Chains A and B, each alone.
Chain A
């Protein structure tokens, strides 16, 4: 009843789709965490106006579906004169999305740093930047690292939606294959398992990176 062998000739289609998904995921993970860290720092140490702006950004993104954000950026922004390719639009949408979630996560980490620790750094004559990177961000990141990485994986899974604006990602490959050979179930099943494999691989990768990043713990 199920004919997976019909999919074999489309291996390269699946592979290139997988690569697009991986590429976008890695890129947006880095960019999203940069956006999230900056926004979290503003939210924590900025002035009232900038705090407000970040709060509005975070709540707007967290309370609307990703697909609507994507459509708004891809279809809506060109009417303001900003024309984006599907790939660019989805990269921006994914980054903005992950940025908002990671802002909240990283802020929780920043909150967990005791005030005395920051004051101690000041007393020891560390500059604001030194304090921020060494005393605040490193331990904060260590605390929220699991939450942050699982959010990155959630965003990767959410990226399946970008096939709707014809980015040639993994889901797009599945749609393409099933429109060619009408093996919808097989095609989507294989794709679902590819996503699962990707999620597991990413989790492993993040764990390894985490071990390296926070290796100073074990040195003591």
Chain B
């Protein structure tokens, strides 16, 4: 039987943290890319596309992330695609993240007065020109703070990947708990590491919110 010193526990947890960070970054990049496409679809004047986006958001915001992960993991392998826990986690987190981001960004675009669209139209700007020169520069300023804030949710979401067997921080925490029988210490450390990852982002988001609120 191997004895785990505090040093072993911490070094193992820190090693696993890399995977949590990597998974978060991958999911966040994937989520923003899909959300960009969805936002474009929503802004287009095609009502069918807009409805699809609404349905997509409703589906992914109305079901637990854990279920989405199970479906990606078991569902795709049932359809014949052998999928690793890592890919299933990235896929489901991407879908989940994009559904929330598209809603957040929608809010940001909708806060801009409608008169701006109308004014741009009067000035003879095309739809894309309006978007590029009038709407997006303003919307992005408003959107940065909540988007950074949501990245905290993504990091916390990666903890669920432990359930489908992806070895990240929470999974290593459970494994260490099984080996050391010191749940109090192990899970307190796991929580602490998550806190150290998330809290700066929360603070940064708050800071951004204040900064842009003043300048507006």
Interfacial residues, chain A to chain B (CB-CB below 8 A): 59-60, 62-69, 71-72, 75-80, 157-161, 164, 171, 174, 178, 184-185, 188-189, 191-193, 195-196, 199-200
Contact = CB atoms under 8 A, between A and B. Distances in A.
A64 B177 contact: no
B163 interface: yes
Contacts of B75: 184-185, 188-189
Residue in A59, A65, A67, A174 with the greatest tally of chain B CB atoms within 10 Å: A65
Given A64-B191, A76-B188, A199-B63, 13 more contacts: A64-B194, A66-B156, A67-B163, A72-B183, A157-B62, A157-B65, A161-B66, A184-B78, A185-B75, A188-B70, A189-B71, A189-B75, A195-B64
Contacts of A200: 62
Contacts of A76: 183-184, 187-188
A196 B202 contact: no
Contact of B183 (A71, A185, A192): A71
Contact of A79 (B67, B184, B195): B184
A63 B177 contact: no
Contacts of B160: 65, 67, 161
Contacts of B170: 65, 67-68, 71
Interface in B134-175: 152, 155-160, 162-163, 170, 173-174
Interface of B: 58-59, 62-68, 70-71, 74-75, 78, 152, 155-160, 162-163, 170, 173-174, 177, 182-184, 187-188, 190-191, 194-195, 198-199, 202
A164 B155 CA distance: 19
A63 B198 contact: yes
Nearest to A80: B184
Task: Give the 6 A-B CB pairs with smallest separation, nearest first.
Answer: A65-B159, A75-B183, A160-B64, A63-B198, A184-B74, A65-B156
A67 B159 contact: yes
Contact of A185 (B64, B71, B187): B71
Given A63-B199, A184-B70, A68 B187 contact: yes
A160 B187 contact: no
B194 A68 contact: yes
B152 A196 contact: no
B187 A59 contact: no
A79 B64 contact: no
A9 B93 CA distance: 32
Nearest to A154: B61
Contacts of A159: 64
Contacts of A178: 74
B24 to A, nearest CB: 11
Nearest to A66: B156
Contact of A65 (B184, B194, B202): B194
Contact of A157 (B63, B78, B182, B188): B63
